């Protein structure tokens, strides 16, 4: 029986994918740019099995954290595998097993790493069974992954990924080797899923002009990262996540992910920035937790922020890998 095990990283968007073209298989209404979180990974083991049906189970491995998926979550995974099987013309059935190397109860969405890992595992397996000329083309695999979960298409590239239309592509900016910290202010499952958020934001009056605002920031941020202008980058990244959260608050019905903990962390980040005139890039996803990205030379601040936020919150901190371009 054939078996493959593959892992893929998560990613954090600095210019956000929020809003998709209806019925397009997760094509975005604006381009997005993400930093790849090499340390937060999903592992997928795919095993060829006898029987007529594909199945999902948690992957049990000592070094990994067990994940539980709802029936709906399992079906989404199985549907994505079926889509990939159809592309390769594969008839065999498979057992999908997956696990994360980070706790699933820490409020970190893992759909990007999960779908990227499943796509890569399937590609590796299916190339053995029925090789296709496009079967190892990373941009095409990114396009396939996008159809399972939009943001996953960016997880195929590192350290930066730009996603404009069908697939993501790698970007090599001067800014790299960042240290990553997540201040976990909320670790329960969120009430509004990102799939629902993509739909709801279109009801906000602020959605008019949102693609243009995001595209402009994308252009400006790319320049800032290319020319190592950290201050400008930090301002653009801050404005961008606030813009996304305002969309949530002005939707009908209105919703929010920000809680008192998030607000406190943001206030402290702003106060530190004012004091030192330097600090990390700050961003939030469709969730309450706050992500911080520090330059490689900000190791001292990285330790200071960690010490500060650990007094009140759970903190996950990962030192940047030197020259993580591959
Ligand atoms: O890939 P989805 O449908 O889970 O959407 C992700 C949306 C955000 O995480 C909020 C932003 C992004 O670009 O990753």
Q: CA-CA distance, 319 to 298, in Å (whole number)?
A: 11
Q: CA-CA distance, 231 to 40, in Å (whole number)?
A: 27
Which atom number of ligand 1 is nearest to the Cα of residue 15?
13
Which atom number of ligand 1 is nearest to the Cα of residue 152?
1
**Angle CA 42–84–201, to nearest 5:** 70
Cα 117 to Cα 17, 99, 113, 145, 229, distances in angstroms: 20, 10, 6, 9, 33
CA atoms within 13 A on the CB side of 163: 37
Q: CA-CA distance, 286 to 142, in Å (whole number)?
A: 22
Domains of the chain (ranges, CATH numbers): 3-171 (3.30.230.10), 178-319 (3.30.70.890)
Q: CA-CA distance, 14 to 233, in Å (whole number)?
A: 10
111 lines ligand 1 (CB under 6 A): yes
Mutation choice for ligand 1 from 248, 286, 291, CB with most ligand atoms inside 8 A: 286
127 lines ligand 1 (CB under 6 A): no
Chain centroid, CA 115 distance in Å? 10
Backbone angles phi, psi at 122, to 5 degrees: -65, -40
Q: What is the pLDDT of residue 98?
A: 97
Q: What is the pLDDT of residue 109?
A: 73
Q: Encode the chain (326 residues) as per-residue pLDDT tens digits.
A: 899 999 999 999 999 999 999 899 999 999 999 999 999 999 999 999 998 899 999 999 999 998 888 899 999 999 999 999 999 999 999 999 999 998 876 778 789 999 999 999 999 999 999 999 999 999 999 999 999 999 999 999 999 999 999 999 999 998 989 999 999 998 877 789 999 999 999 999 999 999 999 999 999 999 999 999 999 999 999 999 999 999 999 999 999 999 999 999 999 999 999 999 999 999 999 999 999 999 999 999 999 999 999 999 999 999 987 654 43
261: nearest Cα among 218, 298, 309? 309
Q: CA-CA distance, 315 to 182, in Å (whole number)?
A: 6
């Amino acid at each position: 029986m054939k078996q493959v095990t593959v892992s893929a990283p998560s990613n954090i968007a600095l210019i956000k994918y929020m809003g998709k073209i209806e019925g397009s298989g997760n094509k975005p209404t604006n381009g997005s740019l993400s930093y790849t979180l090499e340390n937060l990974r999903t592992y997928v083991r795919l095993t060829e099995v006898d029987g007529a049906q594909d199945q999902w189970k948690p992957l049990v491995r000592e070094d990994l954290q067990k994940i539980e998926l709802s029936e709906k979550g399992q079906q989404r995974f199985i549907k994505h595998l079926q889509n990939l099987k159809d592309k390769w013309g594969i008839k065999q059935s498979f057992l999908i097993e997956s696990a994360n190397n980070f706790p699933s109860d820490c409020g970190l969405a893992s759909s990007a790493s999960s779908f990227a890992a499943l796509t890569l595992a399937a590609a590796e397996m299916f190339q053995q069974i029925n090789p296709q000329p496009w079967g190892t083309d990373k941009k095409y695999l990114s396009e396939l992954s996008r159809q399972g979960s939009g943001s996953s298409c960016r997880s195929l590239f590192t350290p930066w990924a730009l996603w404009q239309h069908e697939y993501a592509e790698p970007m090599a900016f001067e800014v790299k080797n960042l240290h990553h910290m997540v201040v976990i202010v909320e670790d329960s499952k969120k009430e509004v899923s990102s799939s629902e958020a993509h739909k709801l934001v279109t009801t906000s009056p602020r959605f008019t002009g949102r693609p243009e605002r995001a595209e402009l920031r994308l252009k400006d941020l790319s320049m800032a990262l290319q020319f190592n202008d950290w201050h400008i980058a930090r301002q653009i990244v801050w404005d961008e996540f606030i813009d996304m959260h305002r969309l949530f608050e002005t939707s009908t019905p209105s919703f929010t992910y920000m809680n008192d903990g998030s607000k406190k962390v943001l206030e402290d980040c702003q106060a530190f920035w004012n004091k030192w005139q330097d600090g990390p890039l700050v961003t939030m996803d469709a969730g309450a937790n706050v992500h911080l990205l520090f330059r490689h030379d900000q190791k001292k601040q990285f330790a200071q922020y960690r010490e500060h936020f650990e007094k009140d919150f759970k903190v996950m901190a990962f030192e940047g890998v030197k020259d993580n371009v591959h």
